[in-house]
Amino acid sequence: MESLDTNGASPSHASHPFTAPHLAGIRVRLRPILPKDYGFLQTVELMSDLHFRFRLRGATPSPEQWSQTLWHSVLAQFLVVTQAQDRIIGLVMAYRPNFQDGHAHVGAARFGTDTRSPLMMLGFGLFVQYVFTCWNFRKLYLETPEFNYEQFASGSGRYFEVEARLREHFFFDGRYWDQLTLAIYRDRWTHYAQRLLAAEAPDHTRRVRVTVPPLRSQQRRIVTDDRQ
C-alpha cells in the first residue's frame, strides 16, 4: 500500500498537483452555452455556409428538433468567444464518448466561414486540452467531409493522423465527397500542442507549462516502477 504524506497526498502524485484546465486564453475563451444563445446559434447555423458544411447539411429541423440535435450524445460543448470583442466565433464539442475503449469524438464549427482565421483553431486547441484533462481518453476522433479538411490539413502527421477515409460518403452539389476520420492522440497532442497552448496561456510571461495528465494505467505503472 502506498504511504500518504501529512496532507493525505500520494508521494508519487506530489509533483502533479491539481490544476484546472484553462478555459480562457489571451485571445479566446470557452464559455458554456446558455438558453439565451439558442436563437443566435440556430440562426447562424441555418443562414450561413455552416448549414451545408456542418451537421444539418441543408436540412431545416424544427426549433425543438434543432435544440435536441445541439445536445445529441454531447459530453461537453462550449462557445468560442473572442477576448477583445466578446464575439462568438464558433462552437466546439465532444460527443459519443466511449469510456470502455478510451475514445470520443470532437467537432468544431466556425461561424463566418468566409475568412480564414487562427482564432477558432486556438479555441479548438483549448477545448482538446480540456477534454484530455477531464477524461481519460486515449484519442479523439474528428470526422470531416473532405471539403472542410483543407482548413487544417497542415496538421496531418503532427497534431492528428488521418485514420480512415469513407469514399464518396457525402452527396453535395452534384457529386460525392469523401469523409475523413482524423485521430488526435493524447501523447502526440501533448508534444505538439504545448507550444501553441503556452502562447495562448493567460500568463504574459508565456512560460506556463501545459501538460496533459498521463492515462491512469500509465500512472499505475509509474507507481509500480517507483517501488522497484
Window of 7-15, 54-62, 71-79, 148-156 that interacts with other proteins by CB under 8 A: 148-156
Using CB under 8 A, pick the residue from 118, 168, 187, 216 that binds other proteins.
Answer: 118
- Binding other proteins by CB under 8 A: which of 41, 88, 106, 121? 121
Instruction: Determine which residue in the list 153, 172, 191, 211 makes contact with other proteins, applying CB under 8 A.
Output: 153
- Cα gap 145→182, rounded to integer Å: 11
* Residues 85-104 contacting other proteins, CB under 8 A: 85, 87
Q: What is the 3-state secondary structure (H, E, C) of 58-101?
A: CCCCCHHHHHHHHHCCEEEEEEEEECCCCCEEEEEEEEEEECCC
Q: How far apart are CA 134 and CA 136, in angstroms?
A: 7
- Mapping DSSP to helix (H, G, I), strand (E, B) and coil, where does residue 221 land? helix
Among 24, 26, 46, 208, binds other proteins (CB under 8 A): 26
Question: 180 — phi, psi (to 5°)?
Answer: -105, 140
Q: Residue 70 or residue 108: which is nearer to other proteins going by CB?
A: 108
Q: How many residues bind other proteins (CB under 8 A)?
A: 27
**Residue 150 CB: number of other CB atoms within 10 A?**
9
State the minimum distance, in angstroms, from the CB of residue 136 to other proteins: 26
What cell does 130 get?
480540456
Strand-pair category, 103-110 with 139-145: parallel
**Helix or strand or coil: residue 11?**
helix
When the beta carbons of 70 and 122 are compared against other proteins, the nearer one is 122
Amino acid 52 reads: F
- Answer whether 89's CB lies under 8 Å from 111's CB: yes
Q: Which stretch binds other proteins (CB under 8 A): 64-72, 98-106, 153-161, 209-217?
A: 153-161
Q: Which residues contact 63 (CB under 8 A, 6 or more apart)?
A: 38, 42
Q: 41 or 121: whose CB is closer to other proteins? A: 121
Residue 6 vs 154, nearer CB to other proteins: 154
Q: Min. distance of Cβ 104 from other proteins in angstroms?
A: 21
| Nearer residue to other proteins within complex by CB, 72 or 195 | 195
Paired strand residues for 101: none
Which residues, numbered 180-199, are part of the site for other proteins (CB under 8 A)? 195-196, 199
Applying CB under 8 A, which residues contact other proteins? Answer: 26-27, 82-85, 87, 115-122, 125, 150-155, 159, 195-196, 199, 206
